[in-house]
Amino acid sequence: MRVPLPPGVSIRDARVSDLARLHEIDALCFDRDIAFSRAELLFYLRHARSHAKAAERMGTVVGFAIGRVEGEFHGHLITLDVVPEARRAGIGTALVEVVHDEFRRAGVFLAVLEVDVTNTGALRFYEKLGYERVETLRGYYRGRSDAYRMACFL
């Protein structure tokens, strides 16, 4: 069942012209030492097997998700970022659902992601979307904190 988007919010393909805003949002969502650089974001925006989606409200990007098909049958949700004032409105869920749709069209039936073991809000969010913890990755975040690898059958 799809979560309806709030009025005035739409989801579209992210573009290279969004790079500065995506970088700004990522810096709001993650500590500096684990946030993506502009070069990393640009890599994903240009990668042929990436699916980058942006959520816009009144002409301003308020969130984005990037997924990439990494194997014959699996995709990787690289990042999901929503500005703090737009959270808990269904935008993150909608972004993940759109990336999952892209994965399905590509023949992917398993999606994976990583999330900090201490980020209980994100863990609950992904579990509601059907993700399960499958592995603990020690020192995943620059050696300073662990992550859970989570997986979801699409």
Query: How far is Cα 81 from Cα 91, in angstroms, rounded to an integer?
Result: 10
Q: What's the average model confidence in pLDDT over 49-54?
A: 97
Residue 83 belongs to a domain: yes
**pLDDT given at position 12:** 97
Whether the pLDDT of residue 1 is over 80: the answer is no
Please compute Rg for the chain using Cα positions. 15
Among 83, 103, 118, CA closest to 154: 103
- Percentage of the chain beyond pLDDT 70 is 98
pTM of the entire predicted model: 0.93
Buried b (16+ CB within 10 A) or exposed e, 116-147: bbeeeebbebbeebebeeeeeeeebbeeebeb
CATH of residue 52's domain is 3.40.630.30
Residue 126 belongs to a domain: yes
Give the total number of structural domains in the chain.
Answer: 1
Residue 1 belongs to a domain: no
Q: How sure is the predictor about 4, in pLDDT bands with cuts at 50, 70 and 90? A: confident
Question: Alpha carbon 124 to chain centroid distance?
Answer: 15
Tokens, residue 31: 């500590």
Query: How far is Cα 7 from Cα 21, in angstroms, rounded to an integer?
Result: 21
Residue 142 belongs to a domain: yes
Residue 2 belongs to a domain: no
Query: How far is Cα 61 from Cα 20, in angstroms, rounded to an integer?
Result: 11
Whether the pLDDT of residue 5 is over 90: the answer is no
Structural domain of residue 20, as residue ranges? 10-153
Whether the pLDDT of residue 116 is over 90: the answer is yes
Among 93, 91, 98, 96, CA closest to 61: 91
For 112, what's the count of Cα atoms within 13 Å in the CB-facing half-sphere? 14
Q: How sure is the predictor about 26, in pLDDT bands with cuts at 50, 70 and 90? A: very high
Are the C-beta atoms of residues 103 and 154 closer than 8 Å to each other?
Answer: yes
Are the C-beta atoms of residues 113 and 135 closer than 8 Å to each other?
Answer: no
Residue 4 belongs to a domain: no
Query: How far is Cα 15 from Cα 148, in angstroms, rounded to an integer?
Result: 30
